[in-house]
Structure formats: structure tokens, C-alpha cells
Amino acid sequence: MIGKKYDVVIIGGGHNGLVAATYLARAGKTVRVLEANPEIGGASQSVRTFPEYDANLSRYSYLIALLPDKIVNDLGLAFECISREVSSYTPYGDNQGLYVSRTWDTKTEQSFMELDPSGKEGLAWQDFYAEVAQFAERIAPTLLEPLKTRSELRKQIDLDPIWKYLIEEPIGKVITQRFSNDIVRGVVLTDALIGTFASAFDIQANICFLYHLIGNGTGEWKVPKGGMGALVSELVRVATESGVEISLNSKAIKVDSTSAQVNVELQTGEVVTGKYLLSNAAPEVLAKLRGTSVPKSLDGSQMKINILLNRLPKLKSGIDPRLAFAGTFHANESFDQFESVYKDAKNGLMPEKMPIEMYCHTLTDPSILGQELQDAGYQTLTLFGIHTPASLFDGDNDVARDAALKSALSSLNDYLAEPIEDVIAAIEVKTPLDIEEAIALPRGNIFHNDLSMPFREDGTEPSWGVETDDPRIFICGAGAARGGGVSGIPGHNAAMAILSNN
């Protein structure tokens, strides 16, 4: 059955699809969004994960840095992100921990001095992050422009020594040169490995590091007020107010195109036609729909564990858990541990002590819990386990999920004064394969495919980083250049690519 013809059809109702749709609708285009699932939002959903508890958890993505203020202002989103006073806490040894505030302060300095009485690590930390901040500030505004070439961007940023160690040499090199302590090295490295199955000495880790540090020019990771679903609700509001049609339970199963239009066949039997097609679905999903060759990417490599707690657990170090879990809590994430777990996982071994990071959303924003749970002292923990590639789960996902959960909890329990199991009210565990099944991220890759550098190579065609081999089809999701993360950037850029042609 063929119906109305749209200017633009968008496959996927993730946050990027909604951003693209709204920009296009406001420019006068007719737009229809087709989402396979009964829920909108893709990896940016908040869900009442445990039906018996009034708690709306950010089921997949949980922190925001990359969403530019420009998109929030352009679209008029009534949406707020809250700063965390604590940046991170990393327990080590029998009862110690490295505490880092969002801005360098006496408490942070003392904590660094306990770890390294020479004071060198603390100074190295301040110097390194001041340099990275300078770089971030210069690169962030370019993300909403057509891609610059490598040489153009390098010239514009004009910070050659930093360019060299962030872009051209493996990130592991600068980390091991500038820092000597294994714990501190690990805290720096973690931003290079989130969702990226790589060694510290693979350039892919540099790209991941870059995206984790350049958000909005500051790289600060903030808590979405009301959970990630609050962003999506606002995006749905502005999209529908702008005239976008959103269809849920509308899985695309085939795409074909002519020189004049693109047809999308749905599982329901409907065929939706547009002058242009945007794919918010991953490039691999789009390739399968079009019957073209499938691009290869790294496996997704993370566990996402959502936990509701009766109360926060006590720590061996004696730090107030309200401080320890208010920022990112790292366990078993030293540089050497990362490298050795990576090698083991590559050889098919589940880590015995999974490198994990977690944070307690409710310490910054209790509003994701109903009043009764808040009054009773409940808290949430979102746990992200690293270096658990999809291949570890291929044999038997259920058995491997149990093993991974055991490894993650045992990693955490190393630093707790009481087993975490004693304070868990409810828990949900998502492997890369579970994530693929739920929201079609190929092999659970949280960035849809391998992240790419935020420039095009010299001598290549001008581009927004969203084009495909078909002039009527564009990528508007995380799989575009400068995609990955909750940013809306590929959504904005795909809309601009279409509008600049018309």
C-alpha cells in the first residue's frame, strides 16, 4: 500500500532522528519518522525498568556532554543538564581512593598528594587537562559545520603539539609519558575506551578520547535532569509541534531508490515514499535494508547494568558513599588492568575482575524516583562494564551474561565494606547482544560503528559527514562522521546537508 509522498522519510526515532526531523520540518519540509519499537528514543530512553518500582532509569545512555547548546536553543528544548560537583572517585589498595572534584580544589590536591607525595602526578593532571580543554574549546564549534580537511582543521586549531599527541600518536603514548602512576593513567585512559574495544595504543582509542573530552567545548559530563527520557520527550514535543509525523511499531525491512525518490517498505506492508531518506539506524542496518555491502566495525564491548538500591553501600576506604558515587566511580580500571583485560578478552576470556565505572544518578537528580522511594532512601546505580566484546557472548548469551554480572559485582565488591548484593532491590543486565536485539545497534556498538576523526582527509570531496553513495540517502544517526553519543550533531548535520542542496 503506497500513501502520501514526503519530502523526507527518516528510519529510526532515536534522538538524532528527532533533531533532524525538527530542523527539516521547520524549514517547511514534510517529514515522517519510522521507529521500529513501540517506544521512541532508541538508546536515549528512560524506562520504568522494574515495573514494581516507581523508578524511571536512563536504560542505555546516561550522561550528556556532547549536545551543543546551539541545538538546545535552536529547537527551544526545555531541557536541563545538571553539573556534578564530583568528577570521579577511584578506590585503590586496601582502603584508599583518588578523589577528583569537577574543578581542581584542596580536597583533590590532598587526594593526589596521598597517592603521590612528590606532587608530580597532580601537576601533570592539571597541565594535561588544561591543554585538552584548550583543544576542546577550539574544536567543538566546528562540529556543526561542514567537515574541514585535516590540514584546515589543524591550522584552525593551531595547537600543534596537542594535535600531535591527540590525533597522530596513540593516546597510550602521551598518557604513559605524562603520568607515572598506574591508577592515574587508568583514570585518564578510561575516556578512550568507553564503548571502544581497543588497546591504549590503537588510534581508535584516540578518537574515543577526543569525543569524550570535546563536548560543548568543555567536555563536562552532566546529568540529564529527569533522565535521558526527558530529552527525548522534549524532542518529541518540538518535532510534533513542527508538524513531523512519528510512527511507532514501524520497522523498515527494505529500501530502494530511483533518481527521483526513495521507497521504504515496512514490516506492516506499508510503503513510505520520500524525496530523501535519512537513516537514524546504523550504517550496517541501512546497508542490509538496501542490499548493499555491509561495512565492518568493531564489536560493541560494554555491559550496561541498571541497579535500584535500598541504600548506598559503605566503602572500605571509609569515604562517604554520597561522595564516592556522586561522580564516576572507577573500579579495577588501572592502565595495566585495561591492557591486560583487553588482551584476555581478545582471546575470548571474560575478565575475572571487569573494569567498571558507575555513578548514582539520584544523588544529583532524585526526580527519577517516585516520592515514596525517595523518602525510603532508595538510590540508583548505573554500571558500565568495559572490554566485554560481543564475541564473548556469541556462544551462550545467558550463560555469559551471568558470568559477566558476577565479574562486574566482584570487581565492585573489592572496594566495598559490605557486599553490593545486600543492598540491591532490583537489577537489569544488558550485554552487547541484548542491546543489539533491543535497539538494533550492530553487535551492541554504542556508537553504531567505529567513530571517525572530526575532519575529512585532504583531497576528498566537501562533505557534512552524512552522505552515502546515493544522493537521496543520508545518515542522520551516530554512524555519521562526528556521530556517537547523545549529541544531536549528526541529526543537525544531515538536515543541513539536505537543506543546503534545496
Ligand X SMILES: Cc1cc2nc3c(=O)[nH]c(=O)nc-3n(C[C@H](O)[C@H](O)[C@H](O)COP(=O)(O)OP(=O)(O)OC[C@H]3O[C@@H](n4cnc5c(N)ncnc54)[C@H](O)[C@@H]3O)c2cc1C
Residues that bind ligand X (CB under 6 A): 11-17, 34-37, 42-44, 60-64, 66, 251-252, 280-281, 285, 304, 435, 439-441, 446-447, 477-478, 484-486
Question: Distances in Å between the alpha carbon of 35 and those of 41, 103, 191?
Answer: 9, 41, 31
Beta-sheet strands, E only, within 363-456: 379-385, 424-430
Three-state SS at 395: coil
CA distance 324 to 223: 16
The residue (of 62 and 325) whose beta carbon lies closer to ligand X is 62
Q: Which of 376, 352, 347, 374 is nearest to 363 (CA)?
A: 374
Q: Distance of CA 272 to CAs 250, 257, 260, 265, 320, Å?
A: 10, 12, 14, 6, 56
Cell of 339: 591492557
| β partners of residue 254 | 265
Instruction: Name the minimum Å distance from CB 330 to ligand X.
Output: 15
Task: Output the smallest distance, CB 169 to ligand X, in A.
Answer: 26
- Measured from the CB of residue 286, what is the shortest distance to ligand X in angstroms? 9
Task: Using the minimum distance from each CB to ligand X, give the nearer residue, 124 or 305.
Answer: 305
Shortest Å, Cβ 58 to ligand X? 8
The DSSP string of 30-71 is -EEEE-SSSSSBGGG-EEE-STTS-BEEE-S---BS-S-HHH
CB closer to ligand X, 75 vs 115? 75
Quote the least distance from Cβ 115 to ligand X, whole Å: 27
Do residues 486 and 231 make contact, with C-beta atoms less than 8 angstroms apart? yes
Give whichever of 65 and 115 is closer to ligand X, judged by the CB atom.
Answer: 65
Question: Running DSSP on this structure, what letter comes out for residue 313?
Answer: P
Shortest reach from residue 456's CB to ligand X, in Å: 20
* Sequence-ordered list of residues with C-beta below 8 angstroms from that of 1, at least 6 positions apart, any chain: 269, 270, 271
Q: Shortest Cβ distance from residue 294 to ligand X (Å)?
A: 14
Instruction: Give 61 or 204: the residue with its C-beta nearer to ligand X.
Output: 61
Nearest approach in angstroms of CB 71 to ligand X is 13
Nearer to ligand X, 425 or 439 (CB): 439
What is the nearest approach in angstroms of ligand X to the Cβ of residue 488?
8
Least separation in angstroms between CB 243 and ligand X = 20
Q: For residues 127 and 465, what is the distance between their CA atoms, to the nearest angstrom?
A: 33
Of 231 and 312, which has the nearer Cβ to ligand X? 231
Give the nearer residue to ligand X in terms of CB position, either 150 or 430. Answer: 430
* Rounded distance between C-alpha atoms, residue 226 and residue 367, angstroms: 6
Specify the residue, 111 or 206, whose C-beta has the smaller distance to ligand X. 206
Q: Which one, 181 or 250, has the nearer CB to ligand X?
A: 250
Cβ nearer to ligand X, comparing 262 with 486: 486
Asked if residue 313 lies in contact with residue 381, where contact means CB atoms within 8 angstroms, the answer is: no
Q: Which has the closest alpha carbon to 358: 398, 433, 422, 415?
A: 415
- Residue 374 one-letter amino acid: Q
Nearer to ligand X, 254 or 316 (CB): 254
- C-alpha separations of 29 from 7, 118, 210, 242 in Å: 6, 62, 34, 10
Closer CB to ligand X, residue 167 or residue 303? Answer: 303
Q: How far is the CB of 94 from ligand X (least distance, A)?
A: 31
What DSSP state is assigned to residue 377? T
For residue 7 the three cell numbers come to: 519530502
Which among 136, 188, 194 has a CA at the least distance from the CA of 162? 136
Host H or E run for residue 82: strand 81-82
Q: How far is CA 75 from the centre of its chain?
A: 21
**Residue 27 beta carbon to ligand X: minimum distance, rounded to whole angstroms:** 20
Minimum CB separation from ligand X for residue 233, in Å? 15
Using DSSP's 3-state secondary structure scheme, residue 484 falls into coil
DSSP states of 115-155: H-TTSHHHHHHHHHHHHHHHHHHHHGGGGGSSPPBHHHHHH
Q: Is the dihedral of CA 484, 215, 488, 276 positive or negative?
A: negative
